[in-house]
Structure 1
Amino acid sequence: MESNIHTPPSAAHHDHPRTRRAFDTAKTSIKVYGALSAVALLAVIVVSSSGHMVNTFMWVRAVLLPVVAVLIYRMAVSASRGSRRAFERVSALAVIMPIAIIGVDLIPGVCPLWYAVVQVVCMLPIIQVAYIIRGSALRAAFPKSR
């Protein structure tokens, strides 16, 4: 019996083992980023409670980045289920976030060196996601549209 359902060429790639592994690795990296961001928030809390200076910038970023981790993870899950829009968003964020986070931290006086180092460490898993998203397995699953 034949089916009249037309499956786009890229749909077969979503179930390919390489694609699944790539998405699993990306999702794990995002979880690691979330955990590191939570540790960064705890560090800000500890430093602040010990009487050291913690500025508003550090508080805002420390609170927002774990929340962003949850949002990016949800987008990665949607992308792994075939959402091109979610895939494109994760792809863009994985490139933009490290540049923006590290770039702002390099501005003299914005934050202390220890906090900048913590933020760089938090961005390492996101940099890995950027490489995974641009890898051949996921490019095949989401070919560029014309």
Structure 2
Amino acid sequence: METKTNTTTGPAFLDDPRIQGSFASAQRSIGLYGALTAAALTAVVVVAACGHTVNGFMWVRAVLPPLITLLIHRMTVSAAGGSRRAFERLSGLTVVMPIAIIGVDFVPGVCPLWYALMQSVCMLPVIHLAFLTRGSALRGAFPKAR
């Protein structure tokens, strides 16, 4: 009986050490983002438990980012496997997220300054990821389609 096995693990260009290094750095950034957003959620829970005011906006903005971490992780894994579509989504999302989150948090009266600063710190790994997706290694792996 003859068995056929598929030995390909993805596009050959993804075996480049620079590309693998960029995706490894991306995974670390996502892990850090997840840890920071979990800490932010914990801070909101502690502040609320201590009897301080925590509005609905703060709750939503504290609960959603840890969930978004899973989405970003999934896109990164797909992109590391050679998915151009996942790479393009990841690249776009990592640019829009920091602008939207930091921009809205610093609108006067939306949330306390400590919370806006905490959310801004959470965006640092995402900003790093945005630079990674625009770096020469990954840009070369996923050139723009014409």
Which TM-score applies when normalising by structure 2? Answer: 0.92
**Equivalent position of 1:122 in the other structure:** 122
Unaligned residue ranges in structure 1 (runs of 5+) = 1-10
Partner AA of 2:65 in structure 1: L
Q: Does 1:112 align with 2:106?
A: no
Distance 1:129 1:100 in 2: 16
Q: Does 1:84 align with 2:84?
A: yes
Answer whether contact 1:76 1:90 (CA < 8 A) is retained. Answer: yes
Distance 2:80 2:120 in 1: 27
Distance 1:132 1:34 in 2: 17
Displacement of 1:14 in angstroms is 1.0
**Equivalent position of 1:59 in the other structure:** 59
Distance 1:26 1:95 in 2: 14
Q: Does 1:34 align with 2:58?
A: no
**Equivalent position of 2:141 in the other structure:** 141
Moved over 6 A (4+): none
**Equivalent position of 1:100 in the other structure:** 100
Displacement of 1:29 in angstroms is 0.1
Distance 2:111 2:127 in 1: 22
Distance 1:17 1:144 in 2: 21
Partner AA of 1:57 in structure 2: F
- The structure, 1 or 2, with the larger RCO (C-alpha pairs under 8 Å, 6+ apart) is 1
Query: Root-mean-square deviation (CA), in Å?
Result: 0.6
Which TM-score applies when normalising by structure 1? Answer: 0.92
Displacement of 1:106 in angstroms is 1.2
Distance 1:46 1:81 in 2: 39
Partner AA of 1:50 in structure 2: C
